[in-house]
Amino acid sequence: MKLSRDLSGENLSKKLSTLGYRITRQTGSHLRLTTQEKGEHHITIPNHQSLRVGTLSSILVDVAKHFGFGRDELMKQLFSK
C-alpha cells in the first residue's frame, strides 16, 4: 500500500486512536502519543500540515512492530475505512 503524501500529524493521531493511542503531551509542534494496549508504548509525531514520507513510514513501522503487525497490515487497518 502506498503512503499518503498529504497526511497531517493531527489526522495521523486520530487514526492511531483506534489502536488506543492518546495524546499525553505536546511540546512545540510535536505530539507525544501513548497506548497501554499490549504494554505501554510511546511515539512522537510532528504536528505538521503534511508529514514527510520517511517520517510517516518510520512511525508506522514503530507502531506495527509494537503490535506485531507488518507495516502494510497496519496501513490497511488504519486507512481502509
Q: What local confidence, expressed as pLDDT, does residue 81 receive?
A: 62
pLDDT digits (tens, 9 = 90+) for 3-59: 878 899 999 999 999 999 999 999 999 999 999 999 999 999 999 999 999 999 999
As beta bridge partners, residue 27 has 30
Structural domains in the chain, CATH included, are 9-79 (3.30.920.30)
Report the pLDDT value the prediction gives residue 2, as an integer from 0 to 100.
79
Q: What is the DSSP letter of 17?
A: G
For residue 5, the model assigns a pLDDT of: 81
Burial class from Cβ neighbours inside 10 Å (0-12, 13-18, 19+) for residue 10 reads middle
Q: State if pTM tops 0.75.
A: yes
**Which spans in 1-81 are helix H?**
9-16, 53-67, 71-79
